[in-house]
Amino acid sequence: MKFPRIYSLEEIAKLIGATSVGSSDFPISGCNEIHIVEEGDIVFVDHPKYYDKALESKATVILINKKVKCPQGKALLISNDPFRDFNKLTKHFNPFKIADSSISTTAVIGKNTIIQPNVFIGNNVVIGENCVIHPNVTIYDNCHIGNNVIIHSGSILGADAFYYKKRVEGYDKLLSGGSVIIEDNVDIGALCTIDRGVSGNTTIKKGTKIDNQVQIGHDTIIGEKCLIASQTGIAGCVIVEDEVTMWGQTGTNSGITIGKGATILGQTGVTKSLNGGKTYFGTPVDESRKKLKEMAQIKQLIKN
């Protein structure tokens, strides 16, 4: 999530009530999660397991709950609750806006695009040309949809990320400030849900086809010309490279990569990153020939 202008370290420290380490005029251009941070961004970290990863990341400013040595060329924001203070940034720079109509007056809809009855289109949504948006589709604020896109009934684009911190009193929600980008020539089936990014974008690249009842988590990137069959669930922060096929009822862990041209057979649990150009099956996942051979051998042992 990029800020509307460059802010100083002092300005951000005052905004969230944190202690700064570094030059007061140190420039900050945005805030992002660890996997998408860029130079000029703030990243938050509140667990010792991830301190080094955050401090060594591309982030320029680290929002952290411990006094540590500041890396050269960076700055720190010391807070007793970085999770809470990261939410403060999202609330300030990307606050929730109430809808004033079923199709926002700030939405931009391209030529020859058909919007069927009972569609909701939020603030600052952009939809390209020659699209068909079927009844009862919901498109949350700031989503961008390319040309020649079809979205079938009941699908929802841009709902919040499933991201919580466990506290004594219950679960605390990490606010979502990102969006969803759908590129050209994408088909989205009925009753699909595509969550927006926490601070970046969930992206479906051009030519990908998605069946009914598919869930795609926050900040995930689906490559070009992928096929994703019904009841597949893809967790957050996953990278699915180009021309991947995922058959029905596939599920994935978060933060993994599925290589270009891979095929995932039905009811597979993808628990780790996979190389491209191969076919996979099972839970835990493995190459399909190996997995099926193992199953046959187990069957023979039982018979014996």
Separation of alpha carbons 251 and 24, rounded Å: 46
Q: How is 155-207 classified by DSSP, letter by letter?
A: -EEEEPP--EEEETTEEEEPPP--EEEE-TT-EE-TT-EEEPPSSSEEEE-TT
Question: Residue 61: beta bridge partners?
Answer: 42, 75
Task: Give the CA distances from residue 20 to residues 16, 27, 34, 58, 98, in Å, rounded to whole numbers and listed in that order.
Answer: 11, 13, 20, 19, 34
| Amino acid letter, residue 134 | H
Residue 127 backbone phi and psi in degrees, to 5: -125, 130
Could you tell me the sign of the dihedral formed by the alpha carbons of 105, 109, 112, 114, in that order? negative
Spot the catalytic one: 134, 144, 152, 218.
218
CA 152 to centroid of chain Cα atoms: 21
Nearest alpha-carbon partner for 101 in 129, 131, 125: 125
Catalytic site includes residue 218: yes
* Catalytic residue numbers, as ranges: 218
